[in-house]
């Protein structure tokens, strides 16, 4: 894999690598169960920004070291926040909100590679990925209500992903669920055995990077992010406008020409 980008050479809590048009963003605090803090969120924002801006990156893979994908907020950090003012806590909450929004609206495809439990904010990270693979042993859940906290920011995205009934079930109970249940709920996309997870994710990501137009992925993600905000007629009008604009794009011209000429196009 390539060396760390100059912009990210001071990372302490993450690893960032690029290989074959795939950017790997790896949570690297195994002793802390990859828990989130303000510094971790800052580095995640920097890494996603770098991957989005890199023309050599087509797909981003979010993964973690150790046995746990992410246990959510660092409890010691949360304890320290209790002495903050409201404005200080609002700034910290906004920091996390910006990361979640950044991942959700990123121009490039984001794949989650969940090798262990994903809880609270960690479950939020897993659910925000466009496509998420997880091992059968992984547990998922939003446990904030069990410690008097709120799963507030993630609720905005979770309602879109799995609907009101399942969101209420998960957020109000604070219960954890199995990977199979997470798959059935639509929280994750695929299950892969632990020994095969990395290779399965890599093979899938490379196929999408090779076979799919980056421009089409970007615009499709934009459409899917905006449609829930629009009334039916407004949504249809917006979709038709994006459809019309796409027909004039270079990628569409290349794709149609290759199809008509029975050529295999490598994006």
Active site residue 144: yes
User: Torsion angle, CA of 96/67/140/227, rounded to 10 degrees?
Assistant: 50
Q: Catalytic: which of 137, 144, 211, 229?
A: 144
Terminus-to-terminus CA distance in the chain, angstroms?
A: 21
Tokens 């404005």 belong to 87
Cβ proximity of 70 and 35 under 8 Å = yes
What's the rounded Cα separation, in Å, for the pair 140 and 188? 10
Cβ proximity of 96 and 144 under 8 Å = no
β-pairing, 109-114 vs 131-134, is parallel
CA atoms within 13 A of residue 255's CA, in its CB half-sphere: 15
Q: Nearest-CA neighbor of 204 among 54, 23, 59, 65?
A: 59
Name beta bridge partners: 139. Answer: 178
Q: What amino acid positions are annotated as catalytic residues?
A: 144
């Amino acid at each position: 894999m390539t060396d760390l980008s100059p912009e990210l050479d001071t990372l302490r809590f993450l690893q960032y690598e690029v290989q074959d048009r795939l950017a790997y963003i790896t949570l690297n605090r195994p002793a802390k169960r990859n828990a989130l803090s303000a510094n971790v969120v800052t580095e995640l924002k920097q890494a996603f920004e770098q991957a989005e801006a890199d023309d050599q990156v087509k797909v981003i893979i979010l993964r973690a070291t150790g046995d746990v994908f992410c246990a959510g907020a660092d409890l010691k950090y949360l304890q320290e926040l209790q002495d903050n003012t409201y404005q200080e806590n609002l700034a910290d909450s906004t920091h996390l909100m910006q990361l979640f929004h950044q991942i959700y609206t990123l121009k490039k495809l984001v794949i989650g590679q969940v090798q262990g439990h994903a809880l609270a904010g960690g479950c939020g990270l897993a659910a925000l990925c466009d496509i998420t693979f997880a091992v059968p042993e992984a547990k998922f859940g939003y446990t904030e209500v069990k410690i008097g906290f709120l799963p507030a920011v993630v609720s905005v995205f979770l309602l879109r992903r799995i609907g009101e009934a399942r969101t209420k079930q998960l957020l109000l109970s604070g219960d954890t669920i199995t990977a199979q249940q997470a798959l059935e709920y639509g929280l994750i996309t695929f299950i892969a055995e632990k020994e095969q997870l990395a290779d399965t994710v890599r093979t899938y990501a490379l196929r999408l990077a090779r076979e799919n137009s980056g421009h089409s992925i970007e615009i499709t993600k934009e459409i899917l992010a905006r449609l829930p905000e629009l009334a039916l007629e407004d949504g249809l009008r917006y979709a038709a406008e994006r459809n019309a604009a796409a027909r004039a794009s270079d990628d569409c011209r290349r794709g149609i020409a290759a199809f008509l000429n029975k050529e295999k196009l490598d994006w």
